[in-house]
Structure formats: C-alpha cells, structure tokens
Structure 1
C-alpha cells in the first residue's frame, strides 16, 4: 500500500464548513495501529475513522475511531459520518449496501440506519452501543476551574455535575444561562487536576449545557477535551446521547419516549444540530438513538511511502 484514500465530511449539519469535520479511511486494510494514530494526529480532527472488513461476515464493517491522541471505543459523529461515506458506495468489502449497516467497534455493535434524499445518503441514525452508566458526582469547584467560570453559575436543581456514558464517559454539567456557557474558557491546568482527582487517568471530557425553561428538550451545549488535544468539539454525539439518556432517566415517568435536540458549536462558528430519541421502559432507559445530517467536503490520498 503506497497511498491511502480518504474522504472528509462535515457531520451534524447540512452546510459545508459547519458541523464537526471527520476524515474517513473507507478501506484501511494493511494499516497498523501506529500509522492510524499518526494519521489521526496529522488531521487534527476530534476523530478520524478507519474502516476494515468485519470479523463477523453478518456485519458490515469493523470501524476503529482515533482522536489525535488515542483510540476510543465509541463516538457519535464518527459513526454518522462514516455511515454517510460508506452509504455512497455501491458495496462494502464485496457486499451490497442496503438501508442499514452494522459496525463492529470496541464498545460493541453499532446499528446504523441510512437516510436518503434523491438517491443520495444525506443523514444517518445510530443506536448507542451500551446502556446508560452514571458515575460519581463532581464538585462544582472542579468544573469551574476547568473552564474558568463562577461556581455559582452551575445549576444543580436537576442534578449535580456527574459522569455519564453510553459508550464514552463525559462529565455533564448544567449551567444557569447562555451567558455563562459563552463565558466558558478551558484551563488546561484545571483539566489536568480534574483528571487526577476524579478519573485517576489522563482523560477528562466536559460537556456543558443550558436548558431553556420554555423548551427544556431543546438544549444548547459545548464540549471541551483539551487533554485529548480537542480544545473544543463542535458536535459530540456520544456526549449528547449520554446527557439525553441521563435526563430522561431522572424523569418520574416509568415509561416514556422523548425526543431531544442539542445545538452545539455555535460559539466556534460551526453550528451543529444533533437529534436524539430516548426510550425508557419500566424505569430504565433502554434505547438511545442519535441522528444527524452530513455533507461531503474533501477527498484525497495520504502518501504512505516515498
């Protein structure tokens, strides 16, 4: 293999140069772990995906997801974007493409439904691979030091800052106002201290959000992960899914289906819209689906050898 083809798409948007950019290597056979990590670091996007033949032939593909610094088990926008890219092809590793795809990932099997417009795949819906998991609460002072805000701007009436995950872990925190959200500015020293005292690792990703009183299921958010070389992410499907699942889990209803819209990336000039559908049965969140549009941006080749 002397070169590797790639395609980039902007995800969770229908407008080119908005949303969250993703690079997809639609056939990464022969590429080693170290090369995948180097390519992801070179792009500098929040994630890059590498598509491989599935281990189980009943599935569509094996998808590996790399941030600039590490491989992650699951993420939202890489799945939506990868599905949109693969959906434009006539086949994947010799198999015809239908309306659904199944991706093998480190977090488990990810189901994808393709959405077409005039014969072209323009959006996708994915199902979170793991059930909702919540961890320990986090002191407001820790959150405040991460993003240089007043601890008083953190709202605790619904929940205290807490870790939540449906495949990837985030510290989710509600703020009092859009002004407080806009004022947030990541402090690397704060993030390093937070990781040391809460996760015991080198990872701490923070998802801040605001819920308008009149429209509580239309949420505005920002996500910071500077320890992973992602100062701010314009669209984070995995965090949006974790937050939506957690908020629905707190509702008094034992059985409910709730649609959630999360707007992210506004402060970065890369507005994104993430649509989510959460199902709760007998008091337990049983299903979280993440939907979004995507638009192609670039294609090219990576030179692997001189």
Structure 2
C-alpha cells in the first residue's frame, strides 16, 4: 500500500512569496527512518527540509529533524523559524491572531523555544532564543587562503579590524569580512574552497555596505558539504554572528538588535533579525527571528 504524508512549502525570512529561503515542512514523520528523510530532502532539493515528529515530552510542541540534500543537521535557523511559524498557524491560529504563541521544539541541539506572533499584515513572525551561546573555534584560515578560495584578491578580505574567524551555534562557519559589496558580489567558490574551509559547514561572507540602510551587514553563505552551493538565508550563521559582532564591534552592555540581509545575489532577498544581550562584556543571550509565508501544500507519496 502506498503511504502518503502532507507537506507545506514556506518562504522564510521574508514577508512575501518567492523571496527568502524556501523550506519544506513534512508532517507526521514519526514512521520515517533517517534514510527515508534524507531521500525526501534530496527530492525537494531545498537548502533544508524539516520533519515534524511527536515530541518525546508531551508538554512540548513537536520534535524536529532537519536535513539538507546531503546530510542531517543538529540545528538550523530557517527550518526552526519556519516550523515554529507553521505550527503556530496550523495548531493555534485563533490564538495567534489575538496573542503570541509559544512553540517548543525538540532537536538534537536541545530544546528550541520560539515565540510566534502575527503582524498587522497577516504575516507570522517567529523568534528563537538559542539554547547555547555561540562558541569561538580555533584554526580560522588566513585572508590570503580565503581570497584564493573565494576568487577574490587579498585586499578584499577584512575591514575596520574585522578578521576571519570560526564561530558556531550548532554548525560551525568561517566568517569572512569583505571590504565592499562589489567584492562580495564577485565572490565565487574556487577549487581550494573545501580544503580551506575544512570541517566548517560553510563560509559566511559579510560587508558593512548594505542595500537597506537599516541592515547592519549584507551577507552571503557558501555551503560546504551540505549538497547546496549557496544559501539564501542562514539562521544558524546569523546566530553565531553575535560572537563576531561582540569581538569586533565591542557593543556596550545591554540588549542590541541587528538586521542581516542575505540572498540578494540569488534573487531571494532575506532579512534576519539578530538580538543579543551583553553583560559585563560577554554574550548572555542570543535570539534570531524572521517572518515566514506559506507558498503551497501537497501530499508526498512514499
């Protein structure tokens, strides 16, 4: 007998369809094995597909597993934001229209606590408080190696004291400051890319020259070993960017809000909200948020 599951397609980190980062959300996935989930993610061929399962603790909303076309991830931002918005809309739509809705997701990184609310435009916004503070890892490539890996000149790497680093809030990323948006637009993966990036999930390139004056940085993310080349909006990388901002910008103690724009080079403009709390010069809380819109629904035959 043919089995079938329902799924929805969402665009995340945007308030309009056909922008942001596309996401497939598969319902009722508790009967699926990891190999089946990986095959389905490869079939959708999006940067990530999230599978909703029954939670281990019934007080939580759902358990999630997240797959790229090539591998499973312990955590990713855009599937979490998209799943939280979708669950709030489909399971608590009336409440969402009047108040915010709390969504608690179980994943391999730990418990993900999200708040969802519906704006006046009718688009749902979800925000995730990370269960961990971003970590700083050793072994960042030097600027010359990164320039070679990204088809850039050495002088294109770095600005105002920002230097390449490796940070992680789940998957690790190499953070590469780029001197100008023109250089960022020129960046391309070159043959040494994977060797230079090493075990990191990708290279997160950023510059201060933005399209929207309200944005703090304009970014691109070239993936490494995930089955995709470039990602339109990378929530886990945006979350760990809080550690980059702390080191190089030295914000005062208190709460700070940054907007990260990404995806423009792919024709998928995206906007990620990053909130960070600094106490005594250290990060104590990091949250990411964004809007999500449903694009379509269907059934998946197995």
Q: CA 1:56/1:249 → structure 2, altered by over 3 Å: closer, same or farther?
A: farther
- How far did 1:276 drift? 1.0
CA distance in 2, matches of 1:215, 1:247: 18
Comparing 112-121 with 102-111, which one deviates more in the overlay?
A: 112-121
Comparing 121-130 with 210-219, which one deviates more in the overlay?
A: 210-219
**Large movers: runs of 4+ above 2 Å:** 117-121, 156-159, 212-217, 248-254
CA distance in 2, matches of 1:162, 1:231: 21
The 8 Å contact of residues 26 and 86 in structure 1, kept in 2 or not, is answered as no
Q: CA 1:91/1:14 → structure 2, altered by over 3 Å: closer, same or farther?
A: closer
CA distance in 2, matches of 1:116, 1:26: 22
CA distance in 1, matches of 2:174, 2:39: 28
Indicate whether 1:175 and 2:178 are aligned: yes
CA distance in 2, matches of 1:78, 1:54: 17
The 8 Å contact of residues 254 and 284 in structure 1, kept in 2 or not, is answered as no
Residue 51 (structure 1) aligns with:
52
CA distance in 1, matches of 2:208, 2:238: 13
CA distance in 2, matches of 1:275, 1:55: 30
Q: CA 1:40/1:88 → structure 2, altered by over 3 Å: closer, same or farther?
A: same
- How far did 1:253 drift? 5.0
CA distance in 1, matches of 2:217, 2:17: 23
CA distance in 1, matches of 2:64, 2:151: 36
Comparing 128-137 with 209-218, which one deviates more in the overlay?
A: 209-218
For residue 228 of structure 1, give the secondary structure of its aligned residue in structure 2: coil
**Structure 1 unpaired stretches of 5+:** none
TM-score normalised to the size of structure 1? 0.89
CA distance in 2, matches of 1:302, 1:266: 31
RMSD: 2.3
CA distance in 1, matches of 2:232, 2:121: 28
TM-score normalised to the size of structure 2? 0.90
CA distance in 2, matches of 1:260, 1:253: 12
Comparing 5-14 with 246-255, which one deviates more in the overlay?
A: 246-255
Q: CA 1:165/1:226 → structure 2, altered by over 3 Å: closer, same or farther?
A: closer
For residue 59 of structure 1, give the secondary structure of its aligned residue in structure 2: coil
Deviations 1:285-304 (A, max 9, x none): 01111110111111111110
Q: CA 1:90/1:257 → structure 2, altered by over 3 Å: closer, same or farther?
A: closer
Q: CA 1:141/1:73 → structure 2, altered by over 3 Å: closer, same or farther?
A: same
Deviations 1:198-232 (A, max 9, x none): 43xxx540000001499696210000115322111
Match of 1:108 among 110, 116, 121: 110
**Structure 2 unpaired stretches of 5+:** 94-98
- How far did 1:190 drift? 1.7
Deviations 1:124-169 (A, max 9, x none): 0011221110112321122122221112100154332111112221
Indicate whether 1:2 and 2:3 are aligned: yes
CA distance in 2, matches of 1:117, 1:288: 22
For residue 263 of structure 1, give the secondary structure of its aligned residue in structure 2: strand
